[in-house]
Amino acid sequence: MAAALNLPFLEGDSLHPKANVDKMASGIPLQDEDRWPWLDKIGERLATVESGIIVSCSSLKKSYRDRLRNASRGPLLFVFLDGSFDVLYEHMGHRTGHFMPVTMLESQLATLESPVGEPFVFRADVADPIEKIVAASLNWVQVTAQADNLL
């Protein structure tokens, strides 16, 4: 998406402090107290951007998304990658080089507060082919940005 929109990309996981990475790598779920400083680092990046950025991160709770919204200089558009446990488990099992083990999926889903119904949120089904997810997400971002004068 970042390449198609000619925007910079930030992998939110790259901003986790070592203590968070170590916890997750050990299969220990993060608590809110672990996540706030990480979300604030992402928020700092959002606050410095003038013309858009694509950020990937697990903003699992509404309070996390609201914290990012408050840090941003403008409206944030969220693409919510939604799916069944089985499909998400399969996708996570194919990842290489990520510190979070697939065994943590259950705790992630237990923490998740669906953003569906919040402003500027698009739900994409991860069971769909990646090309379809990207195309639909790009279309939604472009239509939403134009309709709401975000461009």
Query: Cβ contacts of residue 136 below 8 Å, gap of 6+?
Result: 122, 124, 128
Helix then strand then coil, % of the chain, to nearest 5: 55, 10, 35
Domain 2-143 has CATH 3.40.50.300: yes
pLDDT surpassing 80 at residue 105: no
Instruction: Name the token pair of 79.
Output: 């693409």
Q: What is the model's pTM?
A: 0.87
Read off the amino acid at residue 114.
S
Assign 12 a pLDDT band (cuts: 50, 70, 90): very high
pLDDT of residue 36: 97
What integer pLDDT is reported at residue 87 of this predicted model? 81
Q: Does the pLDDT value for residue 122 go beyond 90? A: yes
